Structure 1
């Protein structure tokens, strides 16, 4: 079933901060989401998860990230590692996941065009500096993907503080559940609850907006696929392809100027990339 109605949420300045974008007008897309969901559930059954893998701050279910990240002591942006990466690579290599990723990226371009262009620019800049890095998908501006394996995924109230706040992440839901009764997305800062049918996508800045899910019923299944980019990669690029410590050591004068003149205004620069509904309507 297709859900093609778009539902944007705006802030006090009429900037679009969240958008429920449904699913594309493409019968094959539903099949792709169903195929990806079945592959995720099959991988979940075969994974033999350790206890620590099934409980984290977002909820009590296995979740694995794959792609390019930067943090946790890494000296520069790098490929994520770990024993689950082979499983992730096998899943993301399937055409069904590529179709989901491509739709998520296209939806970002439609509803957040300036955010999309900045993400595209940064991706190109990163690959120019580190051509050895591998993208999950060639049809997406995002650098990292997380799969929530369920089989009954629902999240606690949280923000994803390490994600880039200037780039809305994309979340696509899958599974077999009654979406009128469960699986809803709660946006606490907007006091809004979205119905979240299987196969639909929501774009939101998960780094700054508190969100969670309503559980699905016993015996139902729900998974999700999320794309995003780590905020620390933006800073690494801003500092000339180096860490803040390396930047300060190599060029103290430029470092002080960056901290005093530019850093304070970066939040407003990020907000300026969010379009108003009127801007999008006039450009259309």
Structure 2
């Protein structure tokens, strides 16, 4: 655990970002993305963009055996408790990577397509990650040096849950529909996290036959468009089935 703490602090100290980059809708702290996604004006799925300097640092973090162990720990957790969802995310990522060989896989042996490194002072505001797959469980790994009994608690407002969240532990949460946040820690302490997720845009791209919604609707026949709308309406049932443990 200490190795992970040190590696994330190393990334925090060496990363170079403008002051405006620290202020975003989840809070006021440094966050750097890794992995792949689709949306936000992209023409097709691809890796998250970082500066050349920060990309080198992130690649070093991703290659760290201790960080890879965290990714495998997260993957094993989802597999143990929600195997159907794990299979869905794993298969989706494999299809996306097969369709676009230019995408560099974030972690081998991890079903999630992307990760945010939330660094040093990662206390989030109330928010929903509405770009993520609606029914998917996202995972957050806690890191740092802080008293988890006094701060850093994880709050799932929609579920009326407040939980201690000590360093070295992980939480799984449907981050798109559930409003969540975490509490402040003492000013002389520090708290980082790794948030694992898969963007809904990747699922849309695959279900549309490797094209965006706009392109699909422009070229679809009336019958195809009707089936597409019905699939969208029934998506919540698909999600519930994937969350069900047999």
TM-score, structure 2 as length reference: 0.95
| Counterpart in the other structure of 1:178 | 147
After TM superposition, give the deviation of residue 89 of structure 1 in Å: 1.2
| Counterpart in the other structure of 1:273 | 242
After TM superposition, give the deviation of residue 175 of structure 1 in Å: 0.7
After TM superposition, give the deviation of residue 61 of structure 1 in Å: 0.4
| Counterpart in the other structure of 1:82 | 50
- Asked if the contact 2:143–2:193 (Cα under 8 Å) also holds between the matched residues in 1, the reply is yes
After TM superposition, give the deviation of residue 254 of structure 1 in Å: 4.5
SS of equivalent to 2:143: strand
SS of equivalent to 1:241: coil
| Counterpart in the other structure of 2:116 | 146
* Runs of at least 4 residues off by over 6 Å: none
Aligned partners of 1:269 and 1:161: how far apart in 2? 18
- Asked if the contact 2:97–2:105 (Cα under 8 Å) also holds between the matched residues in 1, the reply is no
- Asked if the contact 1:145–1:227 (Cα under 8 Å) also holds between the matched residues in 2, the reply is yes
| Counterpart in the other structure of 1:14 | none
Instruction: State whether structure 2 residue 42 is matched by structure 1 residue 37.
Output: no
Aligned partners of 1:194 and 1:252: how far apart in 2? 49
* RMSD across aligned positions (CA): 1.3
User: Bigger shift: 91-100 or 256-265?
Assistant: 256-265
Aligned partners of 1:64 and 1:79: how far apart in 2? 13
- Asked if the contact 1:153–1:222 (Cα under 8 Å) also holds between the matched residues in 2, the reply is yes
Instruction: State whether structure 2 residue 124 is matched by structure 1 residue 134.
Output: no
TM-score, structure 1 as length reference: 0.82
- Asked if the contact 1:173–1:197 (Cα under 8 Å) also holds between the matched residues in 2, the reply is yes
Matches within 5 A, 1:250-261: 250-261=219-230
Aligned partners of 1:219 and 1:186: how far apart in 2? 22
Aligned partners of 1:156 and 1:54: how far apart in 2? 13
After TM superposition, give the deviation of residue 212 of structure 1 in Å: 0.5
Question: Where does structure 1 lack aligned partners over 5 or more consecutive residues?
Answer: 1-32, 280-284
Residue in structure 1 matching 2:193, options 203, 206, 224: 224
- Asked if the contact 1:116–1:167 (Cα under 8 Å) also holds between the matched residues in 2, the reply is no
- Asked if the contact 1:247–1:255 (Cα under 8 Å) also holds between the matched residues in 2, the reply is no
Aligned partners of 2:244 and 2:231: how far apart in 1? 22
